[in-house]
A and B are shown apart, each in its own frame.
Chain A
Amino acid sequence: MSGGGAGGLRMGVGQRSGPGGLRAGVGEAGVRRAVFAPVERRARVDAVVRRIGDAIELGLLADGEQLPGESELAGQLGVSTMTLREALMALRQQGLVTTRRGRGGGSFVSLPGRPGQARLKTRLRGWSTEELRDLGDHWAALSGAAARLAADRTEPEDLRQLSRSIDEFMGAADTAARSRVYGRFHVELAAAAQSARLTREQVALQTEVGALLCLVLGDAEYREEVADRHRAVVLAVQDGARDSARTLAERCVEESAARLVALRLSL
């Protein structure tokens, strides 16, 4: 696992703060209390479950692949062994991991016979609508800001990669590949903004949202709509129309988040 690079599965649970995370109270004392409050273990367990579950759904971890040992994995993720064990238990219940004891034993990735959509819906149930809404807000903030800056700073070379991603998005063989290219478009948009920070944030965000997007990208009509929205963003960036580039990118992302929320409410 490399320290950098979008191709790698990024471990580390700290990116999203769960219910027990940095919820600031009123006033500085409240903020300090919130900062140093113990992170609720449940939130960490959920974060680990999501991280590993997403990686399995996206095919980043292959069927039958052995996960690192408990203490090593806990160390990589920055959680206690107890938290990791609870997470592995939840993953076993979801049928995504099997554990074998004894010599040659350990935890293995296991893709159950259930169709991917059903498994993904189980994963979506792990998100509250409020968290999904917040995820959408964060994504819109990143992609909107990136589109605006890209409109100021872009050149034909940057646009070529974005256009290529739109083509690949339409030609993708399955929804997992399509959702990966969807994410790559937004990473490329952040890179076109010439911002390493926005790009890093976008890469991290895509590791969370990528698996969920599979659920809404199966719809052929919506696929077309996303491609059209991406084309409109590219055109606005090309024209140097910073405000409309921002608005178009925000709308594109907000629509995807809204579809996830609607789907979540139907479960």
Chain B
Amino acid sequence: MSTIPALAGAPAATHGAGAAERAAEGVAARVGRALEAVFEAVAETAAETEALLTRVAAEGRRPATADLAALRPGLHLRLSREELASGVGFIAEPGLLSDVPAWLEWWQSTGEGDVRPLLLDLDPGRSAYADYTHWDWFALPRDTGRRAVAGPYVDYLCSDEYSLTLSAPVEVAGRFAGVAAADVYLRHFETAVLPLLRELPGPAYLVNARGRVAVSADPAHLAGSLTRGPDFAAVLERARPAARGEVRLVPCRPVPLVLVMGAGLGSAASGEAAREVAGRGASSAPSAT
């Protein structure tokens, strides 16, 4: 989709440590707000699903796939409204529905402005991909009870795209019923966010809680690579900017991404300070917020 607008931003200050910090914090806040809008769409889906499932339970029966059709107008609306979201829907906990063992009520935008349902073969006797319950976008909200950002990851189940998936648990009468979710393709996220990163006085990129780069304006840290060393999960936990040498780490509250900004031109440090190797694979904190 070529209609993703860049996030509007005030011109950043270009000199002075305090100014650079303020600029980084401003960009982090705007990145956080952009994804927060997608999270709001996820929350709407979760609320509608919860209401629907509660209504069906009040009728004294188990929900079926036909009941979930009532979610479609809302899902289509959110797909057309949220420019960053390319797929939205509800993914049922296996066993929830009476007519199928597992189900994704999932809709995707086609890029030509249309929407289409995702139809997967979820028969474990025929597909090696029938069990979706181990994917982060399902397992994190289920296990933590909180919303989560999965990825960046290659989504070979639904879209074949390098993606972020934002998801939140759906509970009915205190029981986990599945997750509401939205897909943000990385290429769209980059279109929206890169102009902001390029405003900053130092080389900057965004990482998730595990240090995986999501979007980068720093050729030394490309999307998909891992930044080892800093404990990004701890930065997100404290929800405050931190420094590591000349590298600034700013949480993009309220979403679990960290803006990493190296020292500006003229400094030898650039992005290298953040790449100190400190033992492989030490941190794998879940990125629930």
Contact = CB atoms under 8 A, between A and B. Distances in A.
B280 A196 contact: no
Contacts of A243: none
A59 B152 contact: no
Interface in A177-203: 177, 180-181, 183-184, 187, 190-191, 194-196, 199-200, 203
Interface in B217-234: 223-226
A157 B120 contact: no
Given A5-B160, A152-B225, A194 B284 contact: no
Contacts of A164: 134
A110 interface: no
Contacts of A239: 280
Contacts of A183: 128
Given A2-B120, A60-B121, A196-B161, A180 B127 contact: yes
A261 B128 CA distance: 26
Interface in B24-83: none
Given A4-B159, A153-B224, A190-B154, A59 B134 contact: no
A98 B118 CA distance: 30
A187 B156 CA distance: 8
B154 A191 contact: yes
Contacts of A171: none
Max count, chain B CB within 10 A of own CB: residue among A58, A157, A160, A203:
A157
B156 A2 contact: no
A4 B160 CA distance: 6
A125 B49 CA distance: 52
Contacts of B210: 155, 157
A2 B154 contact: no
Residues of B contacting A: mostly = loop
Interface string B151-169: 0111011111110000000
Interface string A58-97: 1110100000000000000000000000000000000000
Contact of B120 (A5, A58, A177): A5
B154 A184 contact: no
B226 A5 contact: no
A6 interface: yes
A180 B128 contact: yes
B18 interface: no
Nearest to A173: B125
A244 interface: no
Contact of A157 (B110, B116, B130, B136): B136
B1 to A, nearest CB: 15
A113 interface: no
Nearest to B106: A2
A203 B127 CA distance: 12
Interface of B: 108, 110, 116, 118-122, 125-130, 134, 136, 152-154, 156-162, 210-212, 223-226, 280-281, 284
Given A2-B158, A4-B159, A156-B281, 19 more contacts: A1-B119, A2-B118, A4-B158, A5-B120, A5-B129, A5-B160, A7-B122, A8-B121, A60-B127, A62-B126, A155-B281, A160-B134, A161-B134, A164-B134, A180-B128, A181-B128, A184-B128, A190-B156, A199-B160
Enumerate the 5 nearest inter-chain pairs by beta-carbon distance, A residue then B residue, closest first.
A194-B224, A180-B128, A191-B154, A4-B160, A7-B129
